[in-house]
Structure 1
C-alpha cells in the first residue's frame, strides 16, 4: 500500500532528484535494496512525528524493523552524508550556493530513552572534558554518545553551518555543554562540496557570520589564515581592549550581520521534526544522520 498524502513528504519532483543518489545502495549478497522511497518516507515520518520506531504504520511503510535497519545502516556507512554532498555539488555547479556562511548551535533535550546508555564517568578536568567533547559523530560513535549535562539536564547540541539561503552545508553533533567556539573547527572541517568536474572539493566559505559566542582572538586568527572574512560582533570587553590599544587595536568587523538569522531559520525548520527537537536515539550517529536527512529535504526544496 502506498503512503497517503498526509504521510508523504517526497514529491515526484524531489524523488527524481534524490533517487539517483541511492542507486549503489545494496543489501545482503549485493542485492539491491527494494522500496527505497517507501522506506525513506517511513524514516522521515518517524522523525517528523517523534513516535517510537515500533509504532510506524505497517500498512504505509512496511515492517518497522526494515525502516530502522535501513536508516541505521545508512547512518553508519555515510550514505546520508554522500547524498547531501551530491546535492550540494549539483547546486554549486550552477552557482546555487551562497558562500556567505552562517554558523550557530541549538540545544535539544535528550529523552530518557536516549540516555539509558553507558557513558564515561564525569571528569572535572577541563582538558579531559574538551578532548571527549571534540570527538565528532561524523567520525564514528563518540565515547559519550554526544550526550552531556547542561542547564537543561542531559542534552545534545546541534551545530550548523548554512549557506546564505539557510541550507545546511555541515552538521556536527556534540554534548550539550560544549562551547560553540570549541566545535567551530570541527564544523568548518565538515564543509566539503565536491566538484562535478575536475578540481578539489570546495571547503572554504567567502565569509563567516556568527554571534558573540564565537568572538575570540584565536577564532579570528584561524579564519584569517584560511582567508575567510570574519563577521562576528565583539563582546564588550573585547571592544574596550581594542579601543584602549588605539590604532594597533585594529578595526571591528564589518559586514551584513543581520544575515545571521538564516541559521536561526534553519534551526526553526529542524525543530519542526519532533524526533530532532527532542533526541530519542541512543546513538549519536543515528541522531545526526536524521538531521542530515532533514538538511537533504531542505536542499530538495531548493
Structure 2
C-alpha cells in the first residue's frame, strides 16, 4: 500500500473512485495472477494525465510499464474503457468531471511561419531609392508553381 506522501506526489484512485468502477472491470483472465487493478488503473491515468511515455511511469508506484501498456491496449480492444466512461457519465456529477474533449485544428502549411505567403516583399534598399540587391528570376511568375 502507498504511503500518504507517495499518494500526494502521484495519481492514485481513492477508495470511493475505485468502488464505482471495480464491478465493471473484467474478471475473465487466464494465466498468471493479475496485478492489482487499482494500481494499474492509477498508473494508466497518471501516464495519460502527464502526457508521458509508458516507460516514464514510476515502477515502484504503478508496477511494470509493460503491464500498464498491455492492460490499456487489451481493455481498449475489449471496450472496457468505453463502458467505464459511459457508466461514470451516467452516474452524474459535475459536468467538468465527466466531460471528455478533443480538438483538432488544421492549418495550411503557409500558416506555420516562413516567408508569409507568395506576395513580393519590397527591399529596404528600394524603399530608400537604392538599386535592388538581387535580380529577378528569368522564369516568369506564371510559370512557377506557387509554394503557398
TM-score scaled by structure 1? 0.30
Counterpart Cα distance in 2 of 1:53 and 1:66: 10
Tell me which structure has the larger Cα radius of gyration: 2
- The structural deviation recorded for 1:42 is 0.7
Counterpart Cα distance in 1 of 2:61 and 2:97: 29
Counterpart Cα distance in 2 of 1:48 and 1:84: 16
Counterpart Cα distance in 1 of 2:54 and 2:62: 11
Counterpart Cα distance in 2 of 1:166 and 1:55: 28
- The structural deviation recorded for 1:10 is 1.2
Gaps of 5+ in 2: 107-148
Could you tell me whether the CA contact under 8 Å between 2:88 and 2:98 is conserved in 1? no
Change (3 A) 1:90 1:165: closer
Counterpart Cα distance in 2 of 1:170 and 1:56: 23
Could you tell me whether the CA contact under 8 Å between 1:15 and 1:37 is conserved in 2? yes
Which deviations, in whole Å up to 9, do the C-alpha atoms of 1:165-187 show, x marking residues without a partner?
3354676x68643xxxxxxxxxx
Which deviations, in whole Å up to 9, do the C-alpha atoms of 1:159-204 show, x marking residues without a partner?
xxxxx83354676x68643xxxxxxxxxxxxxxxxxxxxxxxxxxx
Does residue 46 of the first structure (1) align with residue 47 of the second (2)?
Answer: yes
Does residue 165 of the first structure (1) align with residue 95 of the second (2)?
Answer: yes
1:11 aligned partner: 14
- Greater RCO, 1 or 2 (C-alpha within 8 Å, sep 6+): 1
- The structural deviation recorded for 1:49 is 2.1
Local SS of the residue matching 2:91: helix
TM-score scaled by structure 2? 0.55
Could you tell me whether the CA contact under 8 Å between 1:25 and 1:32 is conserved in 2? no
Could you tell me whether the CA contact under 8 Å between 1:39 and 1:61 is conserved in 2? yes
2:133 aligned partner: none
1:60 aligned partner: 61
Could you tell me whether the CA contact under 8 Å between 1:26 and 1:33 is conserved in 2? no
Counterpart Cα distance in 2 of 1:40 and 1:9: 8
Structure 1 runs of 4+ aligned residues shifted over 6 Å read none
* Structure with greater strand share of residues: 1
- The structural deviation recorded for 1:39 is 0.2
Aligned length, in residue pairs: 104
Could you tell me whether the CA contact under 8 Å between 1:26 and 1:32 is conserved in 2? no
Counterpart Cα distance in 1 of 2:33 and 2:82: 20
Change (3 A) 1:166 1:62: closer
